[in-house]
Structure 1
Amino acid sequence: MGSLIWERLSQRIWHIVHPRATWRYILCVGLATFVVFRGLSTSSPLMSSNLPQYTGPYNVGTIDVEVPVETRSINNATFREGGHAAFKLETVLFTLYYPATKGAVSSKPHHLWVPKPLSITGQGYARFAHISNFVTDSLFTFGLWGLVGGTKIPAHVDVPLHGSPDFHNEPLTTEDGFPVMIFSHGMASTRTDYTQYVGELASRGFIVAAIEHRDGSGPGTQITIQRKRRSLLHFNVGHLTAESGLDSDTFREAQLDFRQAEVEETVRVLNQINRGQGKEVLMSNSRKEGQSLHQWGGRLAMNNATIGGHSFGATLALQTLKDGPSKALPFQGAVVLDPGKQSGPLNHDVRVPTLILHSNSWSKQHSVFFGRPHFDVVKEVVQGILRKGKDAWFMTSLGTSHPSVTDAPLIEPWLLSFTTGATIDVHEGVHQYVQVTERFLRFQQTGAKEGILSECVTYPEYKVVDEHRPDSGRLPEVFRKYWQIHAAPCGGEAL
């Protein structure tokens, strides 16, 4: 019996250490090994850059919030391993980025761009690559350490909100408080992948809550309940029991429903803070941040909140607008960045002002989406909003690729430009997204269409242009190099 057990154990170890040598396995292991040894030999990340400081008039603060919710199961699906519920909502985790009081100094270290432990994220990405085992998990983890392990988010942790009453008596910026946007990340991403985009908005006077989704779409996360932590790694329909009855389409639906529940809980917590219950939120926050949340009462303009998202998160943003606005989902506008091509149908029942921005790669590539070109489906969403009498825009950001709005090109500019084909300067790419989003959020406040939002349609369909001689129709020169407008509330051109 003992020899039989040892034989089987030896076979198991052999299969773990020597998996099937597919091209994906060889490529990923080779890259990860190179990154590890390069990092060990130079003590610095591979071709990596620090995240830049924010450029707006406000300092930027950040607070991690994870609080328990009334436990509910969004779907009855269960994991093959362990039999636990896959879509059980127990806590909601989001990071606040906000205008901070000038001169406030934090006693806490900056948040890491990849939260500890790195092993969770490394193992999660190995799962995404379908090569997860002891060796590859370790290599992915060391690869992350070599690439971005020490990268820090430049926002100041847990400092007072700008205008806090007991800190220099600074005035409020608006009668209704700071405008609020809730932001949803994309597939294979986390809430920390967009810190430059959301931090820049915070530096311009907005409060952004970036959600960490626990629907299996991220590489990995830790869920903390009553001081007990458990890890949740990326999962897909293949990790669920057959009795769950989900296929790839219904699995995506379950993920979106779970994400929407997390958005609803985030709204609930923000309303709680706005009602002056910041101390209660701090007491229940397992991340132990939010010392000044009790001063946030009445400071959030929740009556004019915006939903935002990228890729899978953009599809989710549109879904939250169905039959809205509502008490649970009170959004009066939406910022939709590259709505997903493989994340389910897009909701067309949108009755609030909406800004949809496509990366150049998203518009340029012809993709069939439920039997129709993806570009046409997205444009139809905007046209439907315009027909309802609401303002909406659909634009393409020239020279960008799908990850251009994320932090990744800023941290690894050479690697991302090489692999994605983006031609725009990485800093300019994020700046353009921030600039147009800011215009839209200001429009939400004032109703004034300024900057590029005041321009008309330049190309009803996407036009391939010479990057050295960009031509976006009648746009002023300041916009011509960077944007094409496909639909806009300007005359009847977009209809």
Structure 2
Amino acid sequence: MEHHVKQPRWILHRTTRWHSLLHDAAIILRPRLSWRYLLVSTVVIYISYCFIRGSPLFASKLPAYTGQHEVGTIDLEIPLKQPRLISNTQFKDGTGPAFQVETVLFSLYYPAIKGAKAHKRHTWVPKPIALRAEGYAQAIHMNNFITRGIFTFGLWVVVGGIEIPAKVDVPILGTDDEKNHDAYPVMVFSHGTVASRTDYSNYCGELASRGYIVAALEHRDGSGPATNILSKQKKERKIFHFGESHLRSDPPMDEPQLKKEQLAFREAEIEETIAVLRRINAGEGPDVYKHNLRKEGHCLHNWGDRIDLNHLIIGGHSYGATGALQALKAGPNSTSIPAIGGVALDPGKSSGPLNHKVDVPLLVVHSDSWSAKYSLFEGRPHFDTVRDLVDSVLDRVGAGWFVTSLKTSHPSVTDAPLIEPLLLSWTTGASINVYEGLREYVKVTSEFFEYLKTGERKGILAEEITHPEYGRDNRTEDRKESMGKDITKYWQIHVAPPAE
């Protein structure tokens, strides 16, 4: 006799939705040796790790600054009273003059009071990300719906969540101390081609953490990927990377003329930045805040006499280094750019002629890749041209240095190696630890600041020539033994004043 007993549902296989889901999940998650399974598992684990750590996907967060001070930052976009027309060159699309300065945009990095609370942080790629993505697509001459989408998605995934560690709009150091109202030396810094003001945030922030103010410019000369020009009428004008083919002029635009007009435009932006710094230092911070189109700077009312414009340096990287040299041509007695020194990091190999008439102390730093690669420039090796330029400054002024940072590459002073250390090392050949490389750039710049203020040569600036040519060591064995390993490991010195 058969007995048909109904079994409870909890012991029936696949009789409940949850049991079915758990059974399917067990099958999916069961370890296998297939490459697909390993790949998917690795990606899931990595994404989970980034989520838990709060890190961006496929990239590293920007590190905290290492100097003795906390760092603040303020974005300033100040309209000029009257636009400055640099040339009559027009855009072919009929949107107006290509080289007219309407506003000046820069990020201030400065030593901030300890423990100040900020309500926000600046993202490394300013929003909207799609604007920068379209600029990159334009720069590689592939600006279409598909590439814009790919670039936008790629930027959002890799760097969209990265923040600059400086605190936005917090009081400058000494605001809460009646006895400490020091004025801080200042650098106006100019970025390279297809770059922007945020690409050097670590270099600028590290200097600020050591007691300096840095105004990192964003140029609107068509050399960057993309930028928004704001106006009082709340209208935005987008400027994307452009070249000769986008311009109309008489005679027709060519590359040398484009570089000439871009450098003149950059010089005008440097002048306008210094004019804004003067107003802030003169106690006009509240008025600057009122007219700031980026709506930051409410703490500028405490900046009177805090910017030491008597110790002003003009600096830059790549095309920005070429622009910095250009801006120094007027000398220290200039009323518009009264700089007492210049810092040129990898002056450009394809950014137009270098200005040789520099009558202030000058520090030129080459990356290893910049010195090692033979390049013709103005009919001569680029290295020889730069060395002769610094030699001429040394002869006239008595203070000029030309050095090579060993094991570095052209992007080493930017934030890129910090965000993507493995990718940048693989693509550029830099073998130095990315944090060490940037540390050395900051260190030698700080030593140059100190030299200009005190006249005392320290660190690498206290050394004589070690390599008159790149790779050709002229030191005696005794000198090799006596030199500090921290200099021998990281530097070659090509031009320097005699030892004191």
Is 1:376 equivalent to 2:388 in the alignment? no
In the alignment, which of 171, 174, 178 is matched to residue 169 of structure 1? 178
The aligned counterpart of 1:195 is 201
Does the CA-based 8 Å contact 1:472-1:481 persist in structure 2?
Answer: no
271, 284, 288: which one pairs with 2:278? 271
Give the distance between the partners of 1:210 and 1:67, measured in 2 at CA: 14
Q: Distance in 2 between matches of 1:385 and 1:287?
A: 39
2:61, 2:499 → 1: CA distance? Answer: 45
Aligned residues of 2:137 and 2:151 also touching (Cα < 8 A): yes
Q: Which residue of 1 aligns with 2:8?
A: none
Read off the aligned partner of 1:125 and give its amino acid letter: Y
Q: Name the stretch that deviates more: 236-245 or 153-162.
A: 236-245
The reply on whether 1:115 has 2:126 as its aligned counterpart is yes
CA distance in 2, matches of 1:172, 1:84: 46
| Alignment partner of 1:363 out of 352, 368, 371 | 371
Selected match of 2:112 from 100, 112, 132: 100
Contact 1:305–1:332, Cα closer than 8 Å, also in 2: yes
Amino acid corresponding to residue 463 of structure 1 in structure 2? G
CA separation in 1, counterparts of 2:112 and 2:316? Answer: 24
Tell me, yes or no, if the aligned pair for 1:66 and 1:287 is still in contact at 8 Å. Answer: yes
What is the TM-score normalised by the length of structure 2? 0.86
Superposed CA deviations along residues 8-38 of structure 1, whole A, max 9, x for unmatched, are xxxxxxxxxxxxxxxxxxxxxxxxxxxxxx8
1:82 is aligned to 2:99: no
- Counterparts of 2:117 and 2:480, CA distance in 1: 45
Alignment-derived partner of residue 20 in structure 1: none
Q: Distance in 1 between matches of 2:142 and 2:378?
A: 30
Larger displacement relative to structure 2 (46-55 or 474-483): 474-483
**3-state SS of 1:225 partner:** coil
| 1:460/1:486 contact within 8 Å kept | yes
Contact 1:224 1:230 in 2 (8 A): yes
Query: How far apart are the structure 2 equivalents of 1:346 and 1:256?
Result: 11
Q: Which amino acid aligns with 2:225?
A: P
1:124-145 Cα shifts (integer Å, max 9, x gaps): 1011111111110111111111
CA contact (8 A) 1:472 1:484 kept: no
Q: Encode CA deviations 1:182-210: one digit per residue, 9 max, x unaligned.
A: 00000010000000001000000000000
Over the aligned positions, Cα root-mean-square deviation in angstroms equals 2.0
**Which letter does structure 1 place at the counterpart of 2:180?**
P
Alignment partners' CA distance in 2, 1:380 and 1:474: 28
Deviation at 1:169, TM superposition (A): 3.2
1:425 aligns with one of 405, 424, 433: 433
* Corresponding residue number in structure 2 for 1:292: 299
Amino acid at match of 1:259: R
1:186 equivalent in alignment to 2:159: no
- Secondary structure of the residue that 2:239 maps to in structure 1? strand
Structure 1 residue 241: Cα displacement: 2.3
Equivalent residues in 2 for 1:380-391 (5 A)?
380-391=388-399
**Letter aligned with residue 106 of structure 1:** A
Unaligned runs of 5+ in 1: 1-37, 466-470
Query: What residue in structure 1 maps to residue 225 of structure 2?
Result: 219
The separation in 2 between residues aligned to 1:244 and 1:47, in whole angstroms, is: 48
Which residue matches 2:323?
316
Name which of structure 1's ranges 234-243 and 450-459 shifts more when overlaid on structure 2: 234-243
Paired residue for 2:356? 348
Q: Where does residue 61 of structure 1 map in the other structure?
A: 72
User: Could you tell me how far apart the structure 1 residues matched to 2:149 and 2:272 are?
Assistant: 35
- Please say which structure displays the higher CA radius of gyration: 2
C-alpha displacement of 1:341:
0.2
Identity of aligned residues (%): 53
Contact 2:88 2:249 in 1 (8 A): no
Distance 1:216 1:389 in 2: 34
Q: Which residues of 2 match residues 253-264 of structure 1 at below 5 A? A: 253-264=260-271
- The answer to whether the aligner puts 1:238 opposite 2:245 as a matched pair is yes
If the length of structure 1 is used for normalisation, what is the TM-score? Answer: 0.87
Count of residue pairs the alignment pairs up: 445
User: Alpha-carbon deviations, 1:56-88, whole Å to 9, x = none?
Assistant: 011000000001012021111111113421111
For 1:347 and 1:162, the matched residues in 2 are separated by 36
- Taking the aligned partners of 1:276 and 1:458, their CA distance within structure 2 comes to 47
Q: Is the 8 A contact 1:162 1:170 kept in 2?
A: no
Letter in 2 for 1:130: H
Q: Which residue of 2 aligns with 1:11?
A: none
Deviation digits for residues 281-327 of structure 1, max 9, x if unmatched? 00000111111111111111101200000000000111111131201
Alignment counterpart, residue 477 of structure 1, candidates 476, 481, 485: 485
Shift of 1:464: 7.3
Per-residue deviation, 1:475: 3.3
Partner residue in 1 for 2:497: 489
* Structure 2 Cα separation of the partners of residues 463 and 112 of structure 1: 40
Alpha-carbon offset, residue 478 of structure 1: 1.7
Number of the residue aligned with 2:446: 438
Q: Which residue matches 2:27?
A: none
Aligned pair partner of 1:210 in 208, 212, 216:
216
